[in-house]
Amino acid sequence: MRHEQRLSELLPRLLVVEFGGAAGTLATIADHGFEVAFQVQAGLAEGLGLSQPEIAWHTERDRIAEIGAFFALLTGTCAKFALDVKLLMQTEVGEVYEPYAPYRGSSSTMPQKGNPISSVYITAMASTVKQLSAALFEALVGDHERSTGLWEIEWIVLPQISTLTHATLVHTFSLLKGLEVHPSAMKKNMGLTEGGIVSEAVMMGLGKRIGRQVAHDLVHDICRNMADASSVSFVDLLLANAEVKRSGISKEELDRLCEPANYIGLSKEMVAAVLDM
């Protein structure tokens, strides 16, 4: 959504006609007067579906640099998503997988392996777009009214940036459309800490009884002990603690606080609000 907003703000600045003559002064039609010369420029802009610039932009290349920066932001967002997919596809996690297609992403040496091929492409292309967009900022510093070599940077990198951005979006849309989600793996991973993952909820619950900072330090110490008591649940460690006992909190309340499903905040409402935009 922010990228849509950026693009709507960017397009009026970017899509402007360039018609000013050799030095940008409209000298070849200046004899017809200011109004006529600018009417000619305005007519050309209208015919091409472009805006009319305030002044010639031969060596004012910020518009080109801005579109490069926008493409870097756009592909960077796609890359963030793709990176998470790569990590979530790891065998030890297994929460999501790229859409399956026979032999796509298959390892040439390990038949059991499925590489996150789309995510790899997305992150690689986004990184390249980011690097190439930096060159457009180099092209900002043109000499006098005619650049000697810097415009050519745009000719080299802008087509590549545009092509890579398009390809990034194609792969991202495909990935989103067919993403395989495994809730059972998510639930299993949430349970690896035996409730410790929602220690904040426990801290806040205890904080109402013994004070927030005291509860923080207490829960912190208990969580550190979990590494040495891997077979003991977080709730059992809490119940065995003398300070927790003195707080008067019940086992039922601790069970409720240690259930991740009870600590999702307003995530459902937030997602729904975004989807409704």
Give Cβ neighbours of residue 227 (< 8 Å, ≥ 6 apart): none
**Of the candidates 77, 102, 97, the residue with the CA atom closest to the CA atom of residue 87:** 97
Q: Which of 155, 86, 96, 150 minimizes the C-alpha distance to 123?
A: 86
Q: CB count, 10 Å around CB of 111?
A: 8
* Closest to 167 (Cα-Cα) out of 136, 125, 127: 125
Q: Is 212 a catalytic residue?
A: no
Of 42, 39, 38, the C-alpha closest to 25 is 38
CA dihedral 201, 205, 206, 211 (to 10 degrees): 100
Reply yes or no on whether 224 is catalytic.
Answer: no
Residue 79's contacts (CB-CB under 8 Å, 6 or more residues apart) are 122, 123, 126, 127, 168
- H-state helical runs in the chain: 2-14, 34-48, 62-88, 117-138, 151-178, 183-190, 199-210, 212-226, 234-240, 242-247, 251-257, 267-275
User: Cβ(98)–Cβ(89) under 8 Å?
Assistant: yes
List the Cα angle 236/210/207 in 5-degree steps: 75
Q: Of 256, 260, 227, 226, which Cα lies nearest the Cα of 240?
A: 226
Q: Which of 146, 209, 246, 256 is catalytic?
A: 146
Write down the catalytic residue from 13, 104, 107, 246. 107
Residues taking part in catalysis: 107, 146
